[in-house]
Amino acid sequence: MAVSSSSWELPLVAVCQVTSTPDKQQNFKACAELVREAARLGACLAFLPEAFDFIARDPAETLRLSEPLGGNLLGEYAQLARECGLWLSLGGFHERGQDWEQTQKIYNCHVLLNSEGSVVTTYRKTHLCDVQVPGQGPMHESNSTMPGPSLTTPVSTPAGKVGLAICYDMRFPELSLALAQAGAEILTYPSAFGTVTGPAHWEVLLRARAIETQCYVVAAAQCGCHHEKRASYGHSMVVDPWGTVVARCSEGPGLCLARIDLSYLHQLRQHLPVFQHRRPDLYGNLGHPLS
């Protein structure tokens, strides 16, 4: 299906692809360069991937490098948002929550900042990645991380109404359906996808989430070798509500840009009104609407 408008007045979003390491300041420098480039190109909202702050070598290092939301690093990103005058989706911050002293575990926290540097909303990853994929190395996120207690209601941004998720969440369509029924027009899956699951599942899952929810899907990704123990697939992209990949990052760190056409989205939902045709009497209400 063709995009209904080519107007340059449509909001522009930037999807940033980075290779995080255990060096937090170097990571910030790399992210800040991309955010400034996004602002220069006219983006109103820039998306950074999961673990934009750092990717550690082991759970002990992860815990040692973590910070509270009120710490220095988020302060630097708040200043960056103000300096550049754009919103930031910080796709997975290693957060020491209010229960840090009791649990000695963190949250994988997606933070949305507005152009004044204020926290608009947060989402703590609800599905933790505890998997063993041959050839990719085991992942045991729960060794250092607590699951979030709830979903977050989508929020209005200059690009549209954004629903927050993180990486492994994309494997659970109930979450995306709940966000869509709560009004989301853009779903976000900031990620650090593996090099085995990436080629097999990354694009097809993102396109499926876009098609079934009739939302734009924005997926900022980690790429390349983070350290001797871990590498990520990359291939950051934006998918439109028809399931077409409308922007994609090339290999290595960088960014891609896409315009968000909400009139096209709502026109598509009128032409193909799947949410009016659901049959919860037969299979339950998958993805209960958020309160």
Instruction: Classify burial at 121, counting beta carbons within 10 Å of its beta carbon; exposed 0-12, middle 13-18, buried 19 or more.
Output: middle
Q: How many CB atoms lie within 10 A of CB 117?
A: 19
* Closest to 227 (Cα-Cα) out of 50, 95, 52, 58: 58
* Band of pLDDT at residue 264, cut at 50, 70 and 90: very high
Query: Would you name the residues annotated as active-site residues?
Result: 50, 125, 167
Sorted by where each starts, the structural domains of the chain and their CATH numbers stand as: 12-275 (3.60.110.10)
**What is the greatest pairwise CA distance in the chain?**
53
Distance CA 47, CA 289 (A): 25
Distance CA 197, CA 185 (A): 27
- 104: confidence class by pLDDT, cuts 50, 70, 90: very high
- Tell me the pLDDT band of 291, cut-offs 50, 70 and 90: low
Residue type for position 74:
L
Terminal Cα distance for the chain, rounded: 33
Contact yes or no for 219/237 (Cβ under 8 A): yes
- pTM for the complete prediction? 0.95
Which DSSP helix (H) or strand (E) runs through 38? helix 24-40
Q: 77-103 pLDDT, tens per residue? A: 999 999 999 999 999 999 999 999 999
